[in-house]
Structure 1
Amino acid sequence: MADKRKVGLLGGGQLGRMLIEAANRLNIQVNVLDVEGAPAKQVSSHDGHIAGSFKDAAAVKRLAQASDVVTVEIEHVDTHMLENVSGEVTVEPSWRTLRIIKDKFAQKQHLKSHGVAVAESVDLEGKGMEGLKEVGTEFGYPYMLKSKTEAYDGRGNFVVRSAGQVEAAYKALGDRPLYAERWADFRMELAVMVVKTKDGVLTFPTVETVHEDSICKLTYAPPRHVKKETAKRAQELARKAIGAFEGKGVFGVEMFLLKDGSLLVNEIAPRPHNSGHYTIEACPISQYEAHLRAILDLPLPEAGLRLREPAIMLNILGGNTPDSHIKVANKALEFPNASTHLYGKGEARPGRKMGHITVTAPTLAAAEKEIQPLIDLVDDMKGKALGPNEAPRKEDPLVAVIMGSDSDLPVLRPGLEILEKLRIPFTVRITSAHRTPDWLREFSKSAEETTIKVIIGAAGGAAHLPGMCASWTTLPVIGVPVKATHLDGVDSLYSMTQMPRGEPVATVGINNSTNAALLAVRILGAADEDVRERLAEWMKGNEREVLRKDRQLLEDGYAVYLKGMEK
């Protein structure tokens, strides 16, 4: 590249390291202000780095003088220092933005003033323990007690679950500037990486984040069990939130998906973020390259922020031995779709972020299957292995088998055995179109927000079950007509096949749950090569069995063969 501008970076941890890895490919020099041997400096050899603290005014001034643009790896910086040097160097994002965001209460108030949905909060600074008790009266329990500043990865937060915990909460955080938030009863945590450029605000895809001990453990892209419309709303909310701040660069927007489907912004990071690590492998342009392009006004095509294929990111957190992260990284080498990033931090400590692994695959289900052994190993390294009486985690169902009455279960048994034989996870439920219509409607409408991809519905008589289900879901529905006492199941067959235009039900023969199961497997196999291979092997087994019988008939003759069948 012809661009010779230099980027100054306050902080040289793992985020800085990955930023430099992106900068190296673009031939952009990044000058890091941090201690000698910091993770970012380990992958960049030039004489522009500055040894020292990013809280040292003189060091910050030297960095500014040696750079064309100054940016941050962490928001907990002295914004007054950045304000002082902003006259001689561009600071991105703006020091004003950093000043607001680093104070979480000020951040929430700023977002609220711009019409961005956030949890209700109240300032507690100077109010002592009595203030905490008043919050309990006003908000009820539980509520979140938070430090306004210097809070990270759960440090500086306390869940106050009852009036009896107020004293413990104040003892833990009482020496900090505090505020409280009304408890958000969320179903899931989502995140969106946002890029603010000179031309506008762009977003990466919405992802699901899973936290453990208040630290991000997993990121799923795309999120599991979330409608596309909800993911799109999350992107719109993230754009609106970042539109309220000055400056350019990448921002991480964490939010809650509440049980009623609404969204609240939880926190904003004015920098690349843990929830965006997946972009390195899963997107044409990573969050780190996007940040560099944004702050240097380089071209940034929106199509470069798309998801190439599904991905799961697993943080490698320090375990119970100093080399726990090395063992996880070595294990990851056995998996073809796993990309490992170690941060160069030396020995592991419990809970310390030592690296991450990203697995990409054609489907999220395939990525989940590949990454699960690594999740298990990380848990084992943290001392969270299964106990002797604990069962392993069941796989989430891909097929739902529903019936109007348990009397239909014997008919469904052959199909369920096929699903078991082909290792297709499934769930079996009883829901009647006539006796429990509300439950059927709830199940059908919510199915697409789960891991379920196909629904098999068995019913006899009027057999409205699969048809009603199909009218409430976009998932494929397969009907199994059940032979009843009267009309031999023909009425059920006609009922399922005579669905009105626009409401299809794929109907198999009377009592033929085997074909229903095999059709469900074929539907799944259209997007999953592993499923196709298992089905192909099963079909070869059928072929071998037919050929075996043919040989036996030829050798024994029909009379002997028939006698064998009669035994």
Structure 2
Amino acid sequence: MLIEAANRLNIQVNVLDAAASPAKQISAHDGHIEGSFKDAAAVKALAQASDVVTVEIEHVDTHMLEEVASEVIVEPSWKTLRTIKDKYAQKHYLKEHGVDVADSIDLEGKGVDGLKEVGATYGYPYMLKSKTEAYDGRGNFVVKSEADVEAAFEALGQRPLYAERWADFRIELAVMVVKTKDGVLTFPTVETVHEDSICKLTYAPPRNVSEKTAQRAQDLAKKAIGAFEGKGVFGVEMFLLKDDSLLINEIAPRPHNSGHYTIEACPISQYDAHLRAILDLPISQASLRLREPSIMLNILGGQTPDSHVQVANKALESPNASVHLYGKGDARPGRKMGHITVTAPTLAAAEREMQPLIDFVDSQKGKAPEPRKELGSSTKGEPLVAVIMGSDSDLPVLKAGLQILEKLDIPFTTRITSAHRTPDWLREFSKAAASTSLKVIIGAAGGAAHLPGMCASWTTLPVIGLPVKATHMDGWDSLVSMTQMPRGEPVATVGINNSTNAALLAVRILGASDLAVRERLRVWMEGNEVEVLRKDKALLEDGWEVYLQSMGK
């Protein structure tokens, strides 16, 4: 993937790896080196043939990199690689620089008794980890009770060990950080879902995480990477704890699995960014933005050698799926063979398209598919439209509009929140709305009708005002109130009691960025045209008197 990015810029990449490795398969030149990245002589040969040396994985001979650093640029710095490849040293370094990490204890040479002491100090469960050569869960052991201590030591006792206090997290997040000569930039925060300690899914943006929390995650990631020397892309994995605090879990000094979504979902990928950073080419924060929500699914080897091909072929049926197979040959259970990325105008739409692929992958492992919600009503799918009302007495007026949303398969939520009787609740709802799945808000109110205007002052989402006919003034007071918002606080106002138009306006707003919604609206509008033409034909053929009688007039 790095070479794919480099080829577009006519940058030659020399690869140190085995013959016919995936990277060499798409790069035809004579500059490649055959051998192991742990072979000092091979590393030196690569350095002599290159202007800049970078790494695909941190488990390299950093002493050799230190030696060649006097002859060639090494990015990120060999010092950074040496610190990060030792996970205990990594945590200690971060803590020294004021970055929040889980508490940890060095266990080298302490044997089984040392593991029992950790249980007495931290309680159970806790994480037993190898300091080095740990990857995708290999080298980790969850010690759930003292009864697990012997098995844990049996599994990992030959490695250099440390223990971490258990992090009671709500969700796992990740941020790809780009360190350049000019500063530290970040891709968006994503949610990662792991299975058997291997990243299975990445959600961009993360589900049920506020924009404020996502920004805190980026700030923490920038602080962490700012403490290290060198340039390039770093993957920062972290825990969002149940008390809403954040802890750094691990850092990868390279492009990372959790950043694969950037290939399709961002203006430039993490690989483009890595090249630009280590070669001092221009790069801006705007080029790292999320253009469209996305979900990445890892293709892991199943029970058959061609399991990854079966998954890829299934993904080809999906209109918005991009398939990446890595050219690794036959699959083995748990081996990363490729990935799939689905992009869509909304995360909910991406989830609906990705779910059959997740089910297919799970079926290869003998897992039953999890029940999932279908799209189409206020309880189905993540809501895109919020319909709020000042009183339940407004609900009959809203009925026609809610039926339109259901007919057009627009997921919505309905809430009661009064501008005057529950102002704090209205403020809380409005301020949080933009950090959820919501895209449009419809506010129905009668009388003074302050509800949509107050909502608009607290959110960046478009707000549609629906004036409701109250007992006095026939709704004119509500209509005038909604249309007379001060400059800078717009509310799009429809006719009195016209919830149909409020719903259709919300659908048109969604359709501006969602072609599927726009197509459903087009079909609905064509249905209206057919119905009007049918009525015209009946009126022409039957005459006005018969037609009136058929109407019961």
Return the TM-score normalized by structure 1.
Answer: 0.82
Q: C-alpha distance in 1, partners of 2:9/2:417?
A: 58
1:210 aligns with 2:196: no
Partner in structure 2 of residue 12 of structure 1 = none
Distance in 1 (alpha carbons) for counterparts of 2:7 and 2:331: 27
1:527 equivalent in alignment to 2:490 = no
Residue of 153, 168, 172 corresponding to 2:136: 153
> Shift of the alpha carbon at 1:202?
4.4
Q: Name the SS for the 1:100 alignment partner.
A: helix
Q: Offset of 1:148 from its aligned partner?
A: 2.5
Per-residue Cα deviation, 1:97-138 (whole angstroms, up to 9, x for no partner): 111001122112212222334344444445556655665666
- Give the secondary structure class of the aligned counterpart of 1:456: strand
Q: 1:426 aligns with which of 390, 393, 412?
A: 412
Residues 31 and 526 of structure 1, relative CA distance in 2, 3 Å threshold:
closer
1:342-421 correspondence to structure 2 within 5 Å = 342-360=325-343, 367=350, 370-386=353-369, 394-421=380-407
Supply the distance in 2 between the matched residues of 1:137 and 1:515 (Cα, whole angstroms).
65
- Say yes or no: does 1:306 pair with 2:292: no
TM-superposed deviation, 1:65: 4.5
What is the distance in 1 between the residues matched to 2:390 and 2:149?
51
Q: Provide the secondary structure at the position in 2 that maps to 1:412.
A: helix
Tell me which residue corresponds to 1:5: none
1:554 to 515, 537, 540: 540
CA gap 1:426/1:130 in 2 versus in 1, 3 angstroms: farther
Taking a change above 3 Å as real, the CA distance of residues 307 and 359 of structure 1, as seen in their structure-2 partners, is farther
Contact in 2 for aligned 1:481/1:509 (Cα 8 Å)? yes
Contact 2:343 2:350 in 1 (8 A): yes
Deviation for aligned residue 1:403: 3.4
Alignment-derived partner of residue 4 in structure 2: 21
Counterparts of 1:361 and 1:483, CA distance in 2: 39
Match of 1:201 in 2: 183
Percent identity between matched residues is 74
Q: Does structure 2 conserve the Cα–Cα contact (< 8 Å) formed by 1:398 and 1:451?
A: yes
Which sits farther off after the overlay, 540-549 or 371-380? 371-380
Partner of 1:317: 300
User: Secondary structure in 2 aligned to 1:252?
Assistant: strand
Q: Structure 1: state its 5+ residue gaps.
A: 1-17
CA distance in 1, matches of 2:397, 2:172: 38
SS at match of 1:111: helix
Are 1:458 and 1:482, in contact at CA under 8 Å, matched by a contact in 2? yes
Gaps of 5+ in 2: none
Map of 1:1-150 to 2, 5 A cutoff?
18-127=1-110, 144-150=127-133
Compare 479-488 and 551-560 and name the one that shifted more: 479-488
CA-to-partner distance for each residue in 1:446-470, whole Å, 9 max, x for gaps?
2211111112233455655444433
Relative to structure 1, is the Cα distance of residues 390 and 453 closer, same or farther in structure 2, using a 3 angstrom cutoff?
Answer: closer
Q: 1:457 aligns with which of 422, 443, 446?
A: 443
List per-residue Cα deviations over 1:153-208 (Å, max 9, x = no partner). Answer: 23333455677766766665555402214525345513123133xx3334352141
CA RMSD of aligned residues (A): 3.6
Distance in 1, Cα, partners of 2:543 & 2:109: 97
Match of 1:508 in 2: 494
- Within 1, Cα distance between the matches of 2:98 and 2:14? 38
**Which of residues 268, 272, 279 in structure 1 aligns to 2:262?**
279
Aligned counterpart, 2:309: 326
8 Å CA contact retained: 1:455, 1:478: yes
Structure-2 residue corresponding to 1:543: 529
Rounded to whole Å, the distance in 2 between the matches of 1:375 and 1:248 is 36
Q: Which residue is 1:443 aligned to?
A: 429
SS of 1:200 mapped into structure 2 = coil
CA contact (8 A) 1:309 1:363 kept: no
- CA deviation vs aligned residue, 1:333-381 (integer Å, no higher than 9, x gap): 3445433221112222333211122345566566555545444433443
TM-score, normalised relative to structure 2: 0.84
How many residues matched?
A: 546
Q: Which moved more, 1:326-335 or 1:298-307?
A: 298-307
Query: Could you tell me which residue of structure 2 aligns to residue 14 of structure 1?
Result: none
Q: SS of 2:531's equivalent? A: helix
Deviation at 1:211, TM superposition (A): 1.5
In structure 1, distance between residues paired with 2:258 and 2:458? 34
Alignment check: 8 A CA contact 1:124 1:180 kept: no
Contact 1:399/1:453 (<8 A) preserved? yes
User: Counterpart in 2 of 1:192?
Assistant: 176
Query: Separation in 2 of the partners of 1:233 and 1:105?
Result: 24
| Letter in structure 1 aligned against 2:183 | V
What's the secondary structure of 1:116's corresponding residue?
A: coil
1:190 alignment partner AA? A
Bigger CA drift: 258-267 or 447-456? 258-267
> What corresponds to 1:3 in structure 2?
none
Aligned-residue offset at 1:488? 5.3
1:419 Cα offset (Å): 0.5
Tell me by how many angstroms 1:86 deviates: 3.9
CA contact (8 A) 1:278 1:311 kept: no
Q: For 1:489 and 1:283, how far apart are their aligned partners in 2?
A: 47
In the alignment, is the contact (CA less than 8 A) between 1:309 and 1:361 conserved in 2? no
The Cα shift of 1:410 comes to 3.2
TM-superposed CA distance for 1:326, in Å, is 0.9
Deviation at 1:317, TM superposition (A): 2.1
Structure 2 contact 188–290 (Cα < 8 Å) conserved: no
Alpha carbons 1:272, 1:288 under 8 Å: kept:
yes
Report the counterpart of residue 247 of structure 1 in structure 2. Answer: 230
Q: Classify the secondary structure of the residue corresponding to 2:188.
A: strand
